[in-house]
Amino acid sequence: MNLLLLGLLIFLAVHSISILAETRRDRMVANLGEMAWKGLYAVVAIVGFVLLVKGYALARQDPIVLYSSPTWLRHGAMLLLLPVFPIVLSAYLPGRIQSALRHPMLVATEIWAVAHLLANGTLADVALFGSFLVWAAAVHRSMGRRTPRTIPGAPASAANDVIAVVVGIGLYVGFVGWLHIWLIGVPVL
């Protein structure tokens, strides 16, 4: 569990720099240069991610069950996850979905976290998905106070919504069918 918590701390801390210390972040980018900053950021984020994945895998070997979800709620969680991939893709494919949600990556993270909390009740699940939910909600709330940064993506187009939905549903089907067990080690069905 300690490895999971350390990974979460590193991963979410590096992703919180703009919330907690935006001016310091901007000074570091100016001092290091954008590419060096992004490289350092990526290395720290990857280290945190690897630690949280390994920590979660270790914690799953000896689970501490806090609650058990009924089967119908697990099915509801799967339904709740259906729009997550299209929403994630809409962050990079500007269209009406992105305009309506304003911060689609955060919305997708919040839905993903809630759905997993509905379906999974071990201490490791609550730590992992609960941390991401709290983090995404805090970032979402802070977005009104911060200067928006440009996210690279495709040019705005109505076709982007169609692409996001079609490819996103395809990714969802692939993830439910085999990617989740291959990448995470846990069968969805």
Of residues 26 and 5, more confidently modeled: 5
**Residues in a beta bridge with 122:** 65
Domain boundaries, the chain: 1-62, 64-189
Alpha-carbon span 52 to 4, nearest angstrom: 4
Encode pLDDT of 82-112 as tens digits: 999 999 999 999 999 999 998 999 999 999 9
Model-level pTM? 0.88
Cα dihedral across residues 179, 184, 185, 188: positive or negative:
negative
Encode pLDDT of 35-51 as tens digits: 998 899 999 999 999 99
Cα–Cα separations (whole angstroms), residue 60 to 4, 53, 55, 122, 178? 11, 11, 9, 8, 20
Task: Say if residue 76's pLDDT is above 90.
Answer: yes
